[in-house]
Each structure stands twice: as structure tokens, then as C-alpha cells.
Chain A
């Protein structure tokens, strides 16, 4: 027993020597945050992981349901049906809005894309701690991957939307191609928001409890089931409120999609400078969110 040291070994190397030794052999501090260019490079190297993870999550989503993948299309349609019943029939917001059903369904689908991206983003880190603690990869892969899953989900919904549009007599037109840039911009915005929420959700899990309320409020002011331009046309609103309603990113992306798809939704119904606003929001959220997320990279999954 006398050989056993009760205290740490007394002949420890002085701190400077160990540091110098580590430096000499090119060892780095464990768990340190990589530089931004290095981080982007690592993330790019994991692009196959991001897409494979999104696809796997999407297909696993309804794997326990009897109807399986049918729910990919059923869920958004049922959502739209509920909103139609409440807002279209009971509250009568459809008065004065031409092609109300396509108008509503487009709004619901586009809004759902942003809403669910933010929701899954909030739990992207806190809900996947096992994965985060087991394997090393740039953590931004998780929120981005979850947004990609939501985008795939939206594409399913869009297929259903096209059928609805054709059923309600909306003609196919060249403006449908505008869907692509609109979706690219919205995806960038959503990914940025998801990364911001992922960092906040990782530090304060309580955020996840709060998000449904914030998102519902946001939905009601975004003109998902009513027409913003009808409201702003009446001039009893303060200017500030009008500007806020029109530059709201969710409203911008929803109106862009309506403009692209529905022939009776005219350019004059769009908020002013709509493409500039859509691009601005995408860049602001995308770049800002990415940097904000990267700043805390070394803290994810700790404790």
C-alpha cells in the first residue's frame, strides 16, 4: 500500500513543458471551435450526411403509421381543410378574395414550411444530444438537415397543391417557374432561423415550450388565411403597422408564392420591393444565423 500515491504524482511535468510538448507535436486543444472557413469546409465535406439524414428522417417519420407515406400529402391537406372550414366558411375571410381555396392552401403550405423549420430547428441540438455526444461533425449539419427535410416535405405538399390549383381552374403559366427562386430564398431564410433557434434551444430548452405561441401569433399576422393588401388598402392603419405587415418575411414569401402560382393574384397586391425584401431577409437570416450558430459550436452537447 505504501507505493500507492494518495496525492497526484509529485513529479508532474511543469505546465510549460507539457504545453511546449503539445505544441511541438502539433496537438491542438480538444473541442476547440474551428475557424469560420475551416468550419464551412468541414460542413461541405458532410453534405452527403446532410442530405442522407434529411431523407432518412423524412421516410422514418410515418413509418409507424398504417397508411405510411400517404400522410406526407394527407397532413398538409387536412390542415388546409381545417383552415378553410374555420376562416373560409365560419369567419368569411374569403369575401373579396378571388380563388380563395388556392390562395389559402398556398398560404398554409408555405407558412408550414417556415413554421416547422423553426420548430425542428429549436430541437435540432437539444433533441439529438445522443448523436451530438457520440460523433464529431459540424453541428450546423443538424439544423440544415432538418430544414432540408421540411423542404422535401413541402415538395410533397406542392404536388398536392398543383392538383388543387388545376381543379380550381388556375391556368398553368410561365410564372410558375418563379417558385424555384422563391423557394431557394425561403429555404435560406428558414435554415438561418433554424440555426438561431438551435443555439437558443441548446442553451435554454424552455424556448421549445414558448415557440408554439410565438409561431401562432406570427402566423395570424402573416396573412396566411386573409389578404394583407385588403387590410392595408383601408387607410385607417398607422404607416408603421402597414410597413411591418408588408416586410414580415413570412408574408413576403407567402405572397411571392401566390404571385407565382395564382393568376388572379396580381403584382399590385405584392408588397413594394418584394424580391429585394425576400433576398434581404434570406441573406440576413442565412449568414447571420450561420455565424451566430458557429460562435457557440464548442458548447453544443456539453454538460
Chain B
């Protein structure tokens, strides 16, 4: 709660909190921003839409006549994120909510630097890491190899990987039901694979960690463990973004929430206030503990 009070004070407007933009340009010096999104627009271009555009001649036409307008070339523009601005600070855990296709995953990808922005800018402290349900590791290799390679790829030294190897395996809980870590990852269930992926990514102290529905696949015990780990990462002065359709998960981990709807930032404020509005909007009075199917790419 101390954190909440601090925010309120800093905002200097406890009453209007949540109604105005949560981010103020006059942020005091003791709060260090880690992610700054400056009126970000993201537009997808999808090839092969429109009548007959999927045919071979249309494809050739598209290649040969580069200069023509996008519409004539059968390219459709999908404006997935519209003029979104926010500032995230060190030690914050920020939930991202919104109905399916509202641009949450797209926004996270852009923050991670994996999607180009159409206009505006995203500034980050260091390199944010995105952890999503689709983040496949190497399926033909054993879990053990994946831990090792994942650690090295994230920039850990061989000694660091060796040092943390046991922690990662214990955290993932892969070996709870027998020696599964030495089996190829293609033999894992989707829940097990997701748990191992999260464990590898969470082994490093990220400045900014973006989590996209990654917790939804694990069992309850694993979810609790991951939420603890997210809290721990925050305390080590990191910033965590969490996309989830599990409102309880957001309430448990995040004190601030961004609500995206049709690509627009609809609300930005303390989780409780935003959640109340969001639940009224979606017509859901009770806490949702069940899981919705994985959110599709906003398109």
C-alpha cells in the first residue's frame, strides 16, 4: 500500500486519480522511467487480401509493380494501436487488459522492439524481453540443453548458467514427476513447455520484462510461484508488464493497469479502479479465475 500512496502523492491529485492520464510529464526525479511510449501508432500490412489477390498472377503483379499504392496492390492496413502514450517506472508491475484483438500483444511486441512503429517512439532502458506463449525454444533438443542455450542466448556466461541451472529446473517444476528435463522438448505437454520457457526467461534479472499470457498455461501452483518471481523481479528495480485475461492474476501482481480497447488507451490508473470499469464494460461482476483461450494477434 505504501507504493500506492506514493503514487497518489506524486500525482498530486488523489481525487482525480485515474480520470486523467496517469503519467505526468512533471515526474519527480526519484522515479526513474524505464519505458516511455510517445504517441505510438502501429499498423499491420497484410498481403493477399481482397478479391482474387491470393492468386499467383496477383502475387506476381504485387512484386512487379512495387510503386503502386498499397490499396491497389491488395495490401490491407490494420491500425492495431492508436496514439498510445505512457511512462512506466522502475519497480512497477503494469497489467495490460482489454478484450481480444484490442492491441495488447501488439503493443508489447513493439515495446520489445520486435515490431516497427508507424509513428511515435518507444524509448526503453536496456533491452526489454518479451515472454509469450508462442516463444518456442528448440523442440528437438532436451529441456536441459534448452536451459543451457536459452541462458547463453540471453547473454549469461557459462558459469552463470551452471550456477542457476538447478534453480531454473526446480522453479519450472519439470522434474517433479520424474526425470523429464533430459527428454527432448517435443515430448513435453504444452503446460510443461510454457513453464520451462518462463523459468528460463525469469532466471535473468531483466530491466524490463514483458509477459504475454505466459502464466495462463501453468497449473495453479506454478502460477503462484511465477507471481512471486514477478514480485521479486520488481523489487530488483525492474519493470514488469503483464498481459492476461485472468483478472485475478492482474489484481494479484499489478498495482497499475492499462486498459486498451480497439487500439486506444482507454484508461490508465490503479488496478482496482481500472478493473472495476473494465468489469462493468465486459459485464463481468465476479472475479474471473478461469482462463480464456490464448489471445490472438491483434489484426
Contacts and interface: CB of A to CB of B under 8 A. Distances in A.
Interface of A: 1, 3-15, 17-19, 21-22, 25-32, 45-46, 48-49, 52-53, 56-57, 60, 63-64, 130-131, 133-137, 141, 298-299, 301-303
B134 to A, nearest CB: 7
Contact of B141 (A5, A11, A56, A302): A56
Interface string B9-36: 0000000001111011101000011111
B140 A60 contact: yes
Given A6-B266, A13-B85, A29-B121, A21 B154 contact: no
Contacts of B242: none
Given A5-B267, A30-B128, A48 B152 contact: yes
B39 A136 contact: no
A134 B201 CA distance: 9
Contact of A25 (B32, B157, B158): B32
Contacts of B110: 30
B145 A31 contact: no
Given A9-B268, A60-B140, A63-B184, A21 B36 contact: yes
Contact of B112 (A3, A15, A31): A31
B150 to A, nearest CB: 7
Contacts of B155: 45-46, 137
Contacts of B264: 7-8
A136 B21 contact: no
Given A18-B38, A21-B36, A29-B122, A9 B114 contact: no
Contacts of B298: none
B237 to A, nearest CB: 13
A4 B25 contact: no
B202 interface: no
14 contacts: A1-B277, A3-B19, A8-B85, A9-B265, A15-B39, A48-B152, A49-B149, A53-B153, A56-B145, A60-B184, A130-B135, A134-B131, A137-B153, A301-B114
Contact of B123 (A4, A27, A48, A298): A27
Most A CB within 10 A of own CB, among B132, B138, B201: B138
B83 interface: yes
B38 A5 contact: no
B157 to A, nearest CB: 7
B50 interface: no
Contacts of B124: 27-30
B85 A131 contact: no
A135 B150 contact: yes
A30 B33 contact: no
Given A3-B19, A12-B21, A21-B25, A133 B114 contact: yes
A30 B21 contact: no
Contacts of A15: 38-39, 120
B257 interface: no
The binding surface of chain B is classed by DSSP as mixed
B84 interface: yes
B280 interface: yes
B153 A12 contact: no
Contacts of A135: 129, 135, 150, 153-154, 201
A30 B111 contact: yes
**Across chains A and B, which 5 residue pairs bring their CB atoms closest together, nearest first?**
A31-B113, A130-B136, A134-B135, A22-B123, A9-B21
A14 B141 CA distance: 49
B152 A52 contact: yes
Contacts of B111: 30
B130 A1 contact: no
A13 B20 CA distance: 11
B115 interface: yes
Given A15-B38, A22-B38, 19 more contacts: A3-B19, A6-B266, A9-B20, A9-B21, A9-B268, A19-B123, A22-B36, A27-B35, A30-B111, A53-B149, A56-B145, A57-B141, A60-B138, A131-B137, A133-B114, A133-B135, A134-B131, A136-B154, A302-B114
A31 B114 contact: yes
Contacts of B58: none
B125 interface: yes
Contacts of A31: 112-114, 116
A130 to B, nearest CB: 3
A137 B152 CA distance: 9
A21 B267 contact: no
A136 B129 contact: yes
A279 B92 CA distance: 54
B87 interface: yes
B39 A12 contact: yes
B148 interface: yes
Contact of B84 (A8, A52, A53, A133): A8
A5 B148 CA distance: 47
B82 interface: yes
A142 B121 CA distance: 29
A44 to B, nearest CB: 12
Given A8-B83, A8-B84, A25-B125, A60 B21 contact: no
Nearest to B281: A4
B18 A19 contact: no
B84 A48 contact: no
B234 interface: no
Nearest to A299: B116
A298 B113 CA distance: 8
Contacts of B25: 13-14, 17-18, 21
A3 B125 contact: no
Contacts of B128: 30
